[in-house]
């Protein structure tokens, strides 16, 4: 799927009032090949399922999102935790 179709899907879900999250990793195709991106995605999926299945508090990225300009800095936070 081209990257813009992911954005279209995300925006469509949001317009319908559905809760949706979009993960976009620069330089990656359909699968993640770069280790820092894999760690970031894995950590966020763990937080997502902990929140919805174990009643853990929602992480800040789910509540407020991550501005584009802060994405790489945010990813480093997860990479330092999950070595």
Overall pTM > 0.85: no
Spatial distance between the Cα atoms of 41 and 39, rounded to a whole number of angstroms: 6
pLDDT for 19? 92
Q: Give me the residue spans of the domains in the chain.
A: 3-81
Which residues fall within 8 angstroms of residue 61, CB to CB, at 6 or more apart?
44, 47, 74
Q: What is the pLDDT along the chain (83 residues), one digit of tens a residue?
A: 677 888 999 999 999 999 999 988 888 888 899 998 899 899 999 999 999 999 999 999 999 888 877 877 777 776 666 65
Q: What are phi and psi of 26, to 5 degrees?
A: -60, 140
């Amino acid at each position: 799927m081209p990257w813009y179709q992911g954005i279209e899907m995300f925006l469509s879900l949001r317009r319908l009032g559905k809760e949706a999250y979009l993960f976009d990793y620069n330089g990656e195709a359909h699968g993640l090949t770069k280790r820092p991106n894999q760690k970031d995605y894995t950590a966020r999926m763990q937080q997502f399922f902990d929140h919805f299945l174990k009643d853990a508090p929602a992480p800040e990225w789910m509540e407020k999102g991550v501005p584009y300009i802060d994405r790489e800095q945010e990813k480093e936070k997860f990479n330092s935790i999950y070595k």
